[in-house]
Homo-oligomer: A and B are copies of this chain.
Amino acid sequence: MMAAASGRSTSSSAAAVGAQIRRRREQRGMSGSELARRAGLSKATLSQLEAGKGNPTIETLDALAIALRIPLTDLLTRDTDPGPVFVPGTEIAEGEVGRELLRRISSGHSLEIWRLRMPAHTDLTGVPHATGTVEHLLVASGRLTAGPADAPRLLGPGDLLAFAGDAPHLYRTDAGPADVTVVIASPIVG
């Protein structure tokens, strides 16, 4: 399928996957032999994979993921290292609406973390986002009605609501204020 000088082929993802396997294994203080044994693979296979040479099948990856007790997709994650980022909390005046974008990541796909603070008796409309976007509300304190415009829901402290962000949606407080964490995740556009 692919050119190779000799022995195993080397694909771009293979190297990343190999590194990931080794990382996770060493994190658990597990030896390669032991992992191979637990996964029902040969030491040789694991050695090749961790060396970045190879092209494992999903069966093999699945066996490894199970042996490592992690979801299969965790073996397919790749490196991008940001340093620590600190965003201090802000004070807002009584009765003000606070709509702050605290953090945005765009490594391929987009992830946004907002803090939304609403005083009592406030009505906000959410801008529809890209198709496939999922919006998550986690109520830090207070009480509000929120969600898709056609099916909103009353939320209290600790409640989490996830809904499609590509439809019109609303946030509304009644008697008291509310403090909400909003996480917006957008997949790639097809």
Q: Say if the beta carbon of A52 comes within 8 Å of chain B.
A: no
B contact residues around A175 at 8 Å (CB): none
Best-surrounded residue of A55, A76, A82, A106 (most CB of chain B within 10 A):
A76
| Partner of A187 from B78, B133, B138, B179 at Cβ < 8 Å | B78
A111-B185 contact in complex given A55-B59, A62-B11, C-beta closer than 8 Å: yes
Q: Say if the beta carbon of A119 comes within 8 Å of chain B.
A: no
In the bound complex, CA of A131 to CA of B21 (Å): 11
B contact residues around A179 at 8 Å (CB): 140
B contact residues around A80 at 8 Å (CB): 132, 187
A190-B70 contact in complex given A58-B56, A59-B55, A140-B179, C-beta closer than 8 Å: yes
A84-B141 in contact (CB<8A): no
Closest to A75 in B: B130
| Partner of A77 from B82, B85, B141, B187 at Cβ < 8 Å | B187
Q: Say if the beta carbon of A79 comes within 8 Å of chain B.
A: yes
Closest to A15 in B: B189
A160-B86 contact in complex given A56-B58, A188-B69, C-beta closer than 8 Å: yes
In the bound complex, CA of A73 to CA of B102 (Å): 19
A134-B105 contact in complex given A13-B72, A76-B73, A89-B139, C-beta closer than 8 Å: yes
B contact residues around A86 at 8 Å (CB): 153, 159-162
| Partner of A58 from B17, B85, B141 at Cβ < 8 Å | B17
Per-residue contact bits, chain A 67-98, to B (CB 8 Å; 1 contact, 0 not): 01111111011111111111111100000000
B130-A163 in contact (CB<8A): no
| Partner of A164 from B81, B89, B134 at Cβ < 8 Å | B81
B contact residues around A59 at 8 Å (CB): 1-2, 9, 11, 13-14, 55
Q: Say if the beta carbon of A126 comes within 8 Å of chain B.
A: no
B160-A77 in contact (CB<8A): no
